[in-house]
Copies of this chain bind each other. A is one copy, B any other.
């Protein structure tokens, strides 16, 4: 058996999230269905770096699975893509050691959250439209407080079973152009809804509903009730997953 890792992208709009569930179409079930076809009816279990919620997109989700097929390391994308629906694509593939695990070997993740300043049907479901004018300087000042190692209970959805809510955020940048704002958050791990709650809180600061200095008190409160609203799912992208070893570095022939 060969363990294979793939980097995948998907448009979250048509999915009830990543993970298989009784009702609704999921990314995992589409991946497993494609691999089952490739394996002539043999089921293949797919493990991902983590779940994404309904409507959340991925540019760089990472998965792994084991296969008896002798497809060359970099050719797996070409083998799987024709079997996938139009809203999922394998963008890179490689053989990995059998102790590699898409989730447990991950050492970091980057998420991006897109906000569009003008209503634009081409960004519908792909960015969150915020009609109010936003003070980016205030949001950037507040974002500074998110950096570092904190108990992020304030940015964690209440319905979670995770006990240790300490995470380290290494990047919290806001990139602005004429049409869009992009929030870039990277860290060693993220709690359930953490990025969306952080962005929702930053947006309330940008709109003047809270002061930039409030951010440190919000985090210190270790209380979900202290933070702002959860920003909508359709602005969120799982952008990349980091591992100790370099991954997907070989340029794949198309």
Copy number in this complex? 2
A9's partner among B59, B122, B131 (CB-CB below 8 A) is: B122
CB–CB B254/A119 < 8 A = yes
* A122 contacts B131, C-beta separation under 8 Å: no
Q: Which of chain B's residues have a CB closer than 8 A to the CB of A89? A: 119, 121
Find the B residue at minimum CB distance from A9.
Answer: B121
A10 within 8 Å of B by Cβ? yes
Interface mask (A124-146 → B, CB under 8 Å = 1, otherwise 0): 10100001000000000000000
Contact B254 A86 (CB under 8 A): no
Query: Given contacts A131-B254, A254-B131, are A86 and B121 in contact (CB under 8 A)?
Result: yes
Which of A's residues lie within 8 Å of B, judged by CB?
A: 9-11, 57, 59, 86-89, 91, 119-122, 124, 126, 131, 254
New A-B pairs, 12, CB < 8 Å, besides A11-B122, A86-B121, A86-B124: A9-B120, A9-B121, A9-B122, A10-B121, A11-B121, A57-B122, A59-B122, A88-B121, A89-B119, A89-B121, A119-B254, A131-B254
